[in-house]
Amino acid sequence: MVNVVRCFMGRFLKRILFFILLNFLIMITIGIIVHFFHLDRRVMGTDRDGLMTLLSFAAIWGFAGSFISLALSRWIARTLMGIKLIDENTANGSARLVLETVKELAATGGIRMPQVGIFDHDAPNAFATGPTKNRSLVAVSTGLLGRMSNEEIRGVLGHEMSHIFNGDMVTMTLLQGVVNTFSIFFSYLLAFVITRALEGGREKQRGGRSFLFYFLSDLFRIVFMILGMIGIAAYSRWREYRADRGSAELLGPGPMVAALRKLQAIANNSEEKMPDSVKALLIFKERRGMSLFATHPPLERRIQALETGEIYSLSR
């Protein structure tokens, strides 16, 4: 058990470091471009043109990283998760079931066949990613294939394919870009106003921004990003209901209900910790009720919504 935990922590830290490095390189590249075109010299002017320049600067900075990450999402997922694509010529057993189910659902939804892969993890997990509906990836864990029945696997795949049909990856990217943009815009604006009021324009005499300005802008950016995460999490919970509904419409509610009940049974095992590494299906048990930052509704609530038909009102 200790070795499993160490292995998981090693992978987790590697993924975090990779994401930090990737975002650092993206921000450095954007920063060079912004400086090359002298956009940074005009930011924070006092007139309308200055504010529009600041908004443009924030939009470039806020959206660029999100869209670059989206464009590389399949490659990033395959690299970080160690995903092995399923070979149609040699697939058998559960792997064949996954491939055939995704092919069936892709034909039903009228999209190009996604890449389909398996990653090595004991936890039952699955996720979908990709820059567009026709350039997507669906991956399942070895734990999911080993612990779930064919019906339950199909329910999970219906859920993930619904994310693709709904364009959830692009929508989440746009939402993250909007949050980034306004976090940058308002953090700079508030820092500028407060610094100007406290220092009386002395920063202009020094020919640049003061330490106070940069400290406040960073502080406000963190605050606004946290507030933005609450909104993103709320949307994420809604899209999970919508993906559950999609699975029910594609395959009937039975497979998805069965899959959620299996996840619930596993999560209720207090001796086993279930990591939420790819944020695809809620695996762990919510112990303190709904959190504002929870990306998934509680399993009990999702099961109830499917069984009672409430899922259709929740996912509108």
Q: Which residues are catalytic?
A: 160
Q: For the chain, how far is it from start to end, CA to CA, in angstroms?
A: 43
Judged on CB neighbours under 10 Å (0-12, 13-18, 19+), 46 is exposed
Cα dihedral across residues 219, 224, 226, 229: positive or negative = negative
Check if the beta carbon of residue 85 is closer than 8 Å to that of residue 116.
Answer: yes
Provide the CA 189 distance to its chain's centre, in angstroms: 28
Cα dihedral across residues 278, 280, 285, 288: positive or negative = positive
Strands 115-119, 135-141: parallel, antiparallel or unpaired by DSSP? parallel
